[in-house]
Structure 1
Amino acid sequence: MTKSNTQEPPNMASYADAFKNGPKSDESDFISSVKPVFSQESDLFGSITNPMKSLYLTTNEMFEAIDKVVPKRSIKGLQRIRGLWRIYLDDEKERELLVSNGLELRGRSVLVYSRNPRVRSYENSTDIKIRVKDIPLSADDGQILRVLERYKCVILKHFRERLRYDNMITDCQTGDRIVICQGPLEEPIPKNIPIGKYRGTVLYRGQNDSIAKCSKCMELGHRASQCQNDWKCRNCGESGHKQIDCTKIDSAEGESIPHNTEYNEDDTCYYPSHQSNSESDNNDDMNDDETQHPLGDVQPDDLFNCTIDQSQSILTTTTADKTKAASH
C-alpha cells in the first residue's frame, strides 16, 4: 500500500477564538498619573524667533539630556508640540529633581517648568475667572456670554468644565461654564441673574456682596448665615424679636380702626357711627312708646278690648273710603 503524501493542515484558532478572552494590551503603554513637565525650545534659541527645522531639537537629544539628570527607565513619554516639549516621568521625586536641576542642551542650561508656560497664570493677573452654575448643558453658551457683556465684561476666553477623576480629566462635563474676563470688572455682577429662561448662579473671587440684604437684621452687606446681629422685627422695626413674636401687632390693628366708628361698652364690639345713631334713634322711639303706653300695668281683658277697638276703627275707615270713591 502506498502512503499518502498529503498532510492534514494544523488546526488554527479562528478570529473569534483568538479574541474570546478580549484583546491583549500592554500595560507598559499606560502613562502614569504623574503630571508632565515642560521645556521650551525658545529658551534654547534665544533671539531666534523663527528657527529653521534643521535647528529643532530631536527626540534623541532630549532623551539623552534627560538621562543625565534622571534614570532613563523613569522616562515614559516625550512629545514635541510646536516647540514645546512635554516630558512624562513615572515618579514624583524624579519629576521634582528634573524641575530643580533643569537640562543641559547644546551647551546651554534650559529651564524645566512644572506647569505649561504657554498657559497664562491667573494667580498674579487682574483677569477674573467667573464660574456660571445652574444652567443646563443643553443651553447655548452664547446666552451666558451676552448676559455677562451687559455687565460690561470683556470676555477673553470661555470653556465648559470637565470632570476630573483619579487626577485625570475626563470627557464628562459638569455643567459649569468657566469664563475668563479682563479685570477689574467695571461693575459687580449679582450672584443670581436670569439667563434666558433659567436663573444662573455667578461666582468669582472678590465678588461684591454689598448689594446683599440680611433677612435677619435687615441690613445691607451680608447674608443671614454670616449675621452676628440680633433679630429685627419686620413689623415694628425694633431689634430683639422676630415679627411672629411682635407684641405691637394688636395695637397696630386697633389704630387702623376707622374714625367713624364708636365703641359700645355693653356689647364690647365696634360698629359704624351711622348704624349706631339709627339704632339709638329707634331705641329712643321705643322708649317713648313704652313711656306713653306702659304694658306692664295693662290687664289681659283691657288689652283684648283695646285690640278689638283698633280693628273696628280700621274697618270703619276702610268702608268710608270705598263709599267716598264710589260717589265720585
Structure 2
Amino acid sequence: MTMSETSRQTHHTRRDFMKTAAAGSMAALLPGTYHAHAAGSDTIRVGLVGCGRRGTGAARDCLSSSAGIEIRALGDVFEDQLKSGRKGLAKLAENIPDDACFTGFDAYKKVLACDIDLVILAAPPGFRPEHLAAAVEAGKHVFMEKPAGVDPAGIRSVLESAERAKDKGLALVAGTQRRHQADYVATLERIHGGAIGAITAAQCYWVGDYGYYPAVPRKEGWSDMEWQLRNWNYFTWLSGDHIVEQHVHNIDVINWALDAHPVAALGMGGRQQRTGAEYGHIYDHFAIDFEYPGGVHVASYCRQMAGTANEVSERLIGTKGTCNPRGTIEGETPFT
C-alpha cells in the first residue's frame, strides 16, 4: 500500500470514527442521563472548545452522525479561529447565537457555562487535562481529542477526571479511534480469544510525512505565546511531540492487544530533516524499544520526514501465528 493510499484510509477511517464516537456519545445520554441533562428535550446540545481544523471537523461529524444535534456554543483562544470555525459550520449549525461564541484563555469556562449536554474538547492537548476536569465538574458529557495529555501530571489529572466522570454517570469518549473501528474490534476480539496464542513480540509504526499539517511561520507582532499556540503541533508543551500526538494511535493498539502498558523503555530520537525555527523543538524521528509485562518487547518507530519510505501499521507476533490488527491473522486460526 502506498503512503497516499494509507493517508486516504487514515483520514477516511477517522471521519467514520468521529461519526461513530459522536453517535456513541449521544447514545450515552439515553435514556437516563439524557433527560437529566437535556430536561426532556429531543435536542442534544453540544459545545465546542477549540475551533481549528480538528475541532471544526469533529463538530461537523458530530452534527452529521444523528438527527437532533445542535452546536450551541463555541470557544477558542483566537477570534479569527472562532470566526473561521463558525463559518465552516454555518450550513450545519445555524443556531449559534453571538452571545454563545467566546474567545480568550477562559473561553472553555464560558462554553461550559452554557446550556449544553456534551462538549467537544479540541484545543491543543497541553490544555486537555484542565479542560476535561472543568467539563466533568460542570456535569457535561465529553468527546475529547487525543492525546489525553502531554506529561505525567496531565495524565494523572485525566485519570482522576475519568473516575469522577464514572461516578457522575457521564460519558467520556476519546479520539483514540482504532478502538472504535470495526476491523480492529473484530480482530482484537480474536486475539484476546487466543487466535495467535501468547503474544511474544510486536511492532508499531507511524512513519511518513506531515505535509498535511505544515508549520506556521511566525508573523511580525506575534508574541511567543501566540506563535506557539498557532503552531502547537511543533511544541512539546502543547503537543507532547509527535510520538504522543500522532503515534499514540499505534501504541494504543499494542496496549489494547497486550491489555497492559509498558514497564520500561529504551529509545532515541532527534531532528534530522526539520531543523528550522518554524518546527519549534519537537523531533522528527523516534525509535523506542518498549518492554511490557512478561518480558514482551515492542519495537516502536515514528517519523515525520518528506521524501522517505512510509508505513502506518501494527504487527503482533504470537506462539500460534501473527496478526495485522487491522483485519488479518495468519497461523493456526487465520482470519481476514
Using the size of structure 2 for normalisation, the TM-score is 0.21
Larger Rg: 1
Which structure features the higher share of helix residues?
A: 2
